[in-house]
């Protein structure tokens, strides 16, 4: 047994390098500053060092007394009620790639600075936790990383500001991107003239094609229908880079024609996700995360249970109570086994078995998993959910409908909404058919983002465009598709646009601009108006929205088409203010589903020519396979799962530095994509992390660096597309980042490729991953093993019910220490603190990007991340937990498939006796009267003593002037500033200081929000700060409500209650530094039949630890 009484084979670790104590990892730890600070040049003597530091100390005080020269411009024409510097919030909505975002945008002096979720929207308001019900101050919505990063895309200097005209494709445009108003007007006049002349030549529309992305915008479809009336022979081509069409086909086949399906996880006591990332990459992940988290309190009425069976390690997999790693190609067979068990109707008692699941064979483990899942589903009819990934087969999607119907879940936890008639309703052609017949067309208008890059390699859209000759493209960037187009029209950013969208439940939601178009762009709706030969000045998007709302809801039948009168419409005004039209949701499908596979298969036409699926002519199949299942691997049966990136999606977000530098939730990889596999798979194939491998299937090949992740299914690889843009087209950020997978992807494959060959090439490749950076413990492996159970504490629901205070008994008892420094003895009006519930945190990274947006945290680039110099104030530590077998030299993990994950957000804990404050020679880090560990940036002289003395390793040092010398968007050393600083500076929050070179920075508990909240309550309220009046940026962004900030002096506040919850604990509490941020332990609601030996009988200090004297050292084995 170990010193702390933990099973000697059970370890928490952040990476395999850390677990194996590789030379590279040890070298990283042995550096004087683990955060990769540069060593002093050789030859600097101690005398010279003291001279330099003495001069720094002498001059340090002067910098604190110097004021920068600034100019102030009077706001003469200030609107009534507008106070400069005070944020105003606007409700808006937008959609991209099938995702609908309901947002509340904070505007400061007319420019958007922060995007959060709109808690009043029905998509969120109906799922507020009980403790916040009826209190709007406590209500929250949360967002995902894409929504948080939308602000940076708005102020991207690479957006085009003029209409680009290439006399012929692949040529240089007549006017390159320019900020000149004259250039902008001239290019728009030229395009307007072209559009008017083009409308007169189109005739009935023969030879005209309009390429669109699927959308839920009623106004867009309204205008498109009018265009099709004018040009009846025109063709609409639908294209989506991420295939999800089998879900809709399954609904159509089952009788729910033109319907959409969404889950209600709040009502689900059992959730089974089969290769379905409901909480991560699903388009409805934000709503699902909130619904899921509402029942993750072990002290509540009931706590839900989440099963995950998947090949990759997804966000849902990390949050699961029980997870099984299985190849994606076997999911259909597993689904068949589950359905057979449900049909048998046997409910197996959940009790401890003589042999725990971690000691079963592969077949036995699968059989017990199927039994437990089926039993839980049967025992919770009407309050369970079974989901399968949208990239899986039509047979699997139909089976999910069938099984949920058998369980009585339809209409309860599985809701099927009838799509409103105002969206879609136009016959369209698939992209592959269009490309094959491209010679028949003479005009093409593209309203989808960069399809030339995102389409699979076997569809040569660029060649098809060359055949057409006259191509108009709506885009924010001069990208690959623009290069092959004659006209590239600047597109509005969603935050600059008028529009509308139907939420997933059908609620009519308004998209209003939060700023006038910075670069004069147009929306897709406005471009369709121009295609119809009409003037956008006479029929702008705002009027189209007004007319659409009038037709749908009768807002005002007498309204004239003018922007001024739009605001006078009562219903429209209310909808604009709220962001949605009240009581406009769609009807639930009331028909009878027929998802019987045999009956549906009997209806399939005998002639296969009548069925074209995924670009191939074949017979449609509704029958699930019944093939053997195995957790092992065969080198002859390898598979690759090709999925969109968790950060840049299909490449359209590649120029967003916040997203590129945001670590992957599991791998912690930045600025790259890789071939992700399990340790056993890598060992069997001779692969090494950080070295290239060649993946091939048929004539498709791609070389990718290997990244090894415990818990990944054996014999399976996961790769993300959306990378590999070239510098010529990728923009300043995304150019030459990662590997392009378009040559590997095939149109007839949704996401899964089987029969793959993988060979190592031996070429080294540097992957920028943050998983080993800022290790909490820099004393080596032995200390890591000791401290990990203190850092992340977890248990099971049955353990919690037996002893709700088990969290305090997880670690070795230690005597109460006296502080090394004088305890603060100041009576505080407010005592700010935070609580983070590890049982709700999914590690989605939304808080990380929100903190970056709020606090002007710079981007540093791949080279600096490789050096450990990323600047995120808030990081999410991901810990693997698995059994370790020292005899396994290859992987070091006894059972890698059983590796579990715990996520832990880590930022400055604002310790009451902060070690950092004691070592700063110039008092640059000080304690405020309210307990915030604050930074005086103009005092900091960059000694970095504070970072070295911080036990949490949460301080960040500016090695360069990232926000000035190298530019806010590109902080790497070899990329000098090329941007328009006028545009890029708009993204900076004026209430947060922009730090320069040589300055330390860290989390401040959003002190600017704290101060604003106190001022607001004094001026508008009763002078008291109530719970919910002040919220940190990370708290607002969290979709699960895992982060709670507030006043610990308010005993009615949520944060006070959580600080006194039995599950609370302080990280490294034995140091007696009294952190203000506390954590709540992770509780897994795992069935006893599926619990491991360590979960059933967790070793606790003083109970199961009976090691020798050397193992216990000086520790005490019993509680006192």
Provide mean pLDDT across the span 944-948.
90
Whether residue 409 lies inside any domain: the answer is yes
The domain boundary residue, chosen from 710, 743, 769: 769
Nearest to 676 by CA among 711, 647, 649: 711
Q: Check residue 900 and give its pLDDT.
A: 87
What are the tens digits of pLDDT across the range 475-503?
A: 998 888 988 888 999 999 999 998 899 99
Q: Check residue 397 and give its pLDDT.
A: 92
Provide mean pLDDT across the span 1020-1047.
89
Nearest to 142 by CA among 1042, 1045, 1037: 1037
CATH of the domain at 364: 3.40.228.10
Q: Check residue 538 and give its pLDDT.
A: 64
Judge contact between 930 and 1048, C-beta under 8 A. no
- HSE, CB side, 13 Å, CA atoms: give it for residue 490: 26
975 shares its domain with 881: yes
What are the tens digits of pLDDT across the range 897-930?
A: 578 889 999 999 999 888 898 899 999 999 888 8
d(C-alpha 1086, C-alpha 331), whole Å: 21
747 shares its domain with 778: no
CATH of the domain at 708: 2.40.40.20
Lowest-confidence pick of 36-40, 671-675, 680-684, 972-976? 972-976
What are the tens digits of pLDDT across the range 390-432?
A: 889 888 999 999 999 999 999 999 999 998 877 777 888 888 8
Asked if the model's pLDDT at residue 41 lies above 50, the reply is no
d(C-alpha 679, C-alpha 751), whole Å: 23
1041 shares its domain with 916: yes
Provide mean pLDDT across the span 709-722.
91
346 shares its domain with 221: no
Which three-class secondary structure state does DSSP give residue 297?
Answer: coil
d(C-alpha 463, C-alpha 61), whole Å: 65
Judge contact between 2 and 1107, C-beta under 8 A. yes
Report which of residues 544 and 564 the model is more confident about: 544
d(C-alpha 405, C-alpha 89), whole Å: 43
Provide mean pLDDT across the span 1-15.
45
| Beta strands, E only, 804-913 | 832-837, 875-883, 900-906
Which three-class secondary structure state does DSSP give residue 705?
Answer: strand
395 shares its domain with 501: no
**Any idea what the Cα angle at residue 760 is, between residues 757 and 762, rounded to 5°?**
160
**Any idea what the Cα angle at residue 196 is, between residues 194 and 199, rounded to 5°?**
105
Whether residue 537 lies inside any domain: the answer is yes
pLDDT band at 244 (very low <50, low <70, confident <90, very high): confident
Range of the domain at 700: 638-769
Nearest to 406 by CA among 463, 473, 339, 472: 339
Pairing mode, strands 208-212 and 235-238: parallel
d(C-alpha 934, C-alpha 1008), whole Å: 11
Which three-class secondary structure state does DSSP give residue 702?
Answer: strand
Whether residue 700 lies inside any domain: the answer is yes
Lowest-confidence pick of 37-41, 549-553, 1097-1101? 37-41
d(C-alpha 59, C-alpha 921), whole Å: 12
* Tally of residues, the chain: 1120
Describe the chain by its helix, strand, coil percentages, rounded to 5: 30, 20, 50
Q: Please, what's the b/e burial string for 474-497 (b: 16 or more CB within 10 A of its CB; e: otherwise)? A: bbbbbbbbbbbbbbbbbbbbbbbb
d(C-alpha 747, C-alpha 498), whole Å: 34
319 shares its domain with 192: no
Q: What is the pTM of this model?
A: 0.87
pLDDT band at 717 (very low <50, low <70, confident <90, very high): very high
Whether residue 123 lies inside any domain: the answer is no
223 shares its domain with 336: no
What are the tens digits of pLDDT across the range 840-852?
A: 999 999 999 999 9
404 shares its domain with 550: no
CATH of the domain at 942: 3.30.70.20
pLDDT band at 975 (very low <50, low <70, confident <90, very high): very low
Q: Check residue 770 and give its pLDDT.
A: 85
Report which of residues 870 and 12 the model is more confident about: 870
Nearest to 901 by CA among 440, 398, 301, 315: 315
Burial class (CB in 10 A: 0-12, 13-18, 19+), 168: exposed
Whether residue 633 lies inside any domain: the answer is no
Asked if the model's pLDDT at residue 974 lies above 90, the reply is no
Whether residue 652 lies inside any domain: the answer is yes
Whether residue 178 lies inside any domain: the answer is yes
| Beta strands, E only, 828-924 | 832-837, 875-883, 900-906
928: which 2 tokens? 């405020």
Q: Check residue 128 and give its pLDDT.
A: 78
406 shares its domain with 442: no
Q: Check residue 821 and give its pLDDT.
A: 67
Whether residue 565 lies inside any domain: the answer is yes
Nearest to 125 by CA among 296, 293, 287: 287
Provide mean pLDDT across the span 268-276.
95
pLDDT band at 1019 (very low <50, low <70, confident <90, very high): confident
Q: Check residue 98 and give its pLDDT.
A: 81
895 shares its domain with 914: yes
DSSP string, 206-222: TTEEEEE-----HHHHH
The domain boundary residue, chosen from 362, 387, 418: 418
339 shares its domain with 405: yes
DSSP string, 605-624: -SSGGG-EETTEE-----PP
In sequence order, the β-bridge partners of residue 105 are 90, 115
CATH of the domain at 177: 3.40.50.740
796 shares its domain with 877: yes
Pairing mode, strands 270-274 and 384-388: parallel
Q: Check residue 373 and give its pLDDT.
A: 95
Nearest to 1 by CA among 944, 977, 1094, 881: 1094
Q: Check residue 558 and give its pLDDT.
A: 44
Domain count, the chain: 4
Which three-class secondary structure state does DSSP give residue 696?
Answer: strand
Burial class (CB in 10 A: 0-12, 13-18, 19+), 360: middle
Judge contact between 791 and 904, C-beta under 8 A. yes
Pairing mode, strands 508-511 and 768-769: unpaired
57: which 2 tokens? 């100390």
The domain boundary residue, chosen from 542, 560, 578: 578
Virtual torsion, Cα 697, 701, 703, 707, nearest 10 deg: -20
């Amino acid at each position: 047994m170990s010193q702390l009484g933990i099973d000697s084979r059970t370890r928490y670790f952040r990476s395999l390098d850390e677990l194996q104590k590789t030379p590279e990892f040890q070298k990283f730890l042995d550096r004087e500053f683990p955060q990769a600070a540069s060593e002093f040049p050789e030859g600097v003597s101690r005398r010279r060092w003291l001279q330099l530091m003495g001069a720094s100390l002498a001059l340090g005080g002067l910098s604190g007394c110097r004021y920068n020269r600034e100019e102030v411009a009077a706001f003469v024409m200030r609107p009534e009620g507008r106070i400069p510097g005070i944020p105003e919030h606007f409700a808006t909505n937008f959609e991209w790639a099938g995702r609908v975002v309901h947002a509340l945008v904070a505007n400061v002096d007319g420019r958007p600075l922060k995007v959060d979720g709109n808690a009043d929207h029905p998509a969120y308001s109906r799922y507020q936790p009980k403790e916040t019900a009826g209190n709007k101050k406590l209500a929250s919505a949360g967002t995902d990383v894409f929504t948080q990063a939308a602000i940076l895309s708005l102020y991207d200097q690479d957006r085009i500001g003029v209409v680009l005209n290439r006399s012929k494709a692949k040529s240089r445009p007549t006017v390159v991107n320019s900020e000149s108003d004259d250039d902008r007007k001239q290019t728009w006049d030229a395009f307007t003239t072209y559009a008017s002349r083009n409308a007169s030549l189109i005739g009935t529309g023969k030879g005209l094609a309009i390429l669109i992305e699927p959308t839920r915008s009623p106004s867009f479809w309204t205008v498109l229908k009018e265009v099709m009336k004018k040009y009846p022979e025109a063709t609409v081509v639908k294209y989506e880079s991420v295939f999800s069409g089998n879900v809709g086909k399954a609904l159509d086949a089952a009788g729910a024609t033109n319907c959409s399906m969404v889950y209600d996880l709040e009502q689900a006591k059992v959730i089974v996700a089969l290769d379905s990332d409901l909480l991560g990459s699903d388009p409805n992940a934000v709503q699902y995360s909130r619904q899921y988290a509402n029942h993750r309190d072990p002290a509540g009425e009931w706590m839900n249970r989440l099963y995950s069976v998947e090949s990759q390690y997804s966000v849902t997999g990390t949050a699961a109570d029980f997870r099984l790693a299985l190849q994606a190609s076997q999911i259909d067979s597993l689904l068949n086994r589950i359905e057979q068990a449900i049909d048998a109707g046997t409910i197996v008692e959940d009790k401890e078995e003589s042999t725990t699941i971690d000691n079963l064979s592969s077949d036995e483990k699968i059989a017990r998993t199927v039994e437990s899942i089926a039993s839980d589903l049967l025992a919770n009819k009407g309050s369970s959910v079974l989901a399968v990934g949208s990239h899986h087969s039509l047979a699997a999607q139909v089976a999910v409908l069938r099984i949920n119907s058998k369980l009585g879940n339809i209409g309860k936890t599985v809701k099927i909404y009838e799509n409103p008639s105002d969206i879609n309703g136009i016959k369209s052609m698939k992209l592959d058919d269009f490309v094959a017949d491209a010679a028949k067309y003479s005009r093409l208008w593209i309203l989808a983002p960069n399809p030339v890059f995102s389409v699979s390699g076997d569809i040569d859209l660029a060649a098809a465009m060359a055949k057409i000759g006259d191509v108009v493209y709506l885009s924010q960037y001069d990208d690959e598709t623009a290069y092959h187009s004659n006209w590239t029209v600047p597109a509005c950013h969603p935050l600059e646009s008028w529009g509308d969208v139907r939420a997933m439940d059908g609620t009519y939601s308004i998209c209003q601009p939060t700023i006038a178009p910075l670069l004069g762009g147009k929306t897709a709706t406005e471009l369709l108006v121009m295609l119809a030969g009409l003037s956008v000045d006479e029929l702008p998007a705002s009027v189209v929205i007004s007319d659409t709302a009038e037709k749908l809801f009768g807002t005002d039948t007498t309204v004239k088409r003018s922007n001024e009168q739009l605001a006078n419409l009562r219903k429209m005004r209310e909808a604009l203010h709220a962001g949605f039209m009240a009581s406009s949701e769609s009807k639930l499908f009331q028909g009878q589903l027929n998802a019987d596979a045999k009956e549906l298969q009997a209806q399939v036409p005998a002639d296969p020519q009548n069925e074209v699926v995924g670009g191939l002519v074949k017979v449609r199949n509704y029958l699930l396979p019944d093939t053997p299942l195995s957790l092992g691997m065969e080198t002859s049966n390898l598979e690759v799962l090709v999925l969109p990136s968790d950060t840049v999606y299909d490449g359209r977000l590649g120029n967003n530095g916040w997203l590129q530098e945001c670590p992957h939730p599991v791998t912690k990889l930045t600025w790259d994509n890789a071939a992700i596999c399990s340790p056993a798979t890598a060992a069997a194939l001779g692969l090494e992390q950080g070295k290239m491998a060649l993946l091939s299937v048929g004539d498709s090949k791609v070389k990718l660096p290997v990244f090894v992740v415990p818990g990944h299914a054996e014999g399976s690889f996961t790769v993300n597309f959306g990378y590999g843009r070239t510098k010529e087209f990728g923009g300043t950020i995304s150019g030459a980042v990662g590997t392009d997978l378009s040559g590997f992807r095939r149109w007839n494959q949704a996401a899964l490729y089987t029969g793959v060959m993988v060979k190592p090439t031996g070429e080294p490749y540097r992957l920028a991953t943050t998983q080993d950076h800022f290790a909490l413990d820099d004393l080596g492996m032995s200390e890591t093993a000791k401290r990990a159970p203190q850092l992340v504490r977890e248990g099971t629901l049955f353990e919690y019910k037996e002893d709700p205070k088990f969290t305090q008994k997880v670690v070795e008892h230690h005597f109460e220490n006296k502080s090394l420094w004088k305890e603060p003895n100041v009576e505080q009006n407010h005592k700010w603190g935070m609580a983070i519930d590890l049982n709700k945190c999914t590690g989605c990274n939304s808080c990380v990007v929100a903190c970056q947006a709020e606090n002007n945290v710079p981007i540093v680039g791949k080279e600096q991340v490789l050096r450990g110099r990323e600047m995120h104030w808030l990081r999410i530590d991901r810990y693997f937990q698995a059994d370790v077998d020292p005899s396994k030299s290859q992987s070091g993990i006894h059972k890698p498939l059983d590796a579990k994950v715990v996520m832990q957000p880590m930022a400055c804990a604002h310790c009451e006796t902060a070690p950092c404050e004691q070592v700063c020679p110039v008092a640059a880090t000080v304690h405020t009267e309210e307990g915030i560990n604050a930074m005086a940036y103009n005092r900091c002289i960059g000694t970095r003593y504070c970072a070295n003395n911080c036990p949490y390793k949460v301080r960040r040092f500016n090695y360069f002037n990232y926000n000035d010398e190298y530019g806010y968007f590109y902080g790497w050393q070899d990329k000098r500033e090329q941007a328009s600083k006028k545009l890029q500076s708009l993204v900076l929050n004026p209430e947060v200081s922009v730090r320069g070179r040589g300055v330390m920075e860290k989390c401040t508990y959003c002190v600017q929000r704290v101060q604003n909240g106190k001022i607001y309550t004094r001026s508008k309220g009763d002078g008291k700060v109530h719970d919910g009046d002040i919220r940190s940026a990370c708290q607002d962004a969290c979709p699960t409500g895992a982060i709670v900030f507030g006043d610990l002096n308010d005993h009615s506040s949520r944060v006070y209650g959580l600080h006194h919850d039995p599950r609370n604990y302080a990280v490294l509490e034995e140091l007696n530094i009294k952190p203000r941020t506390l954590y709540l332990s992770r509780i897994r609601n795992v069935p006893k039949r599926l619990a491991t030996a360590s979960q059933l009988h967790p070793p606790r200090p003083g109970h199961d630890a009976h090691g020798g004297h050397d193992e216990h050292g000086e520790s005490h084995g019993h509680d006192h």
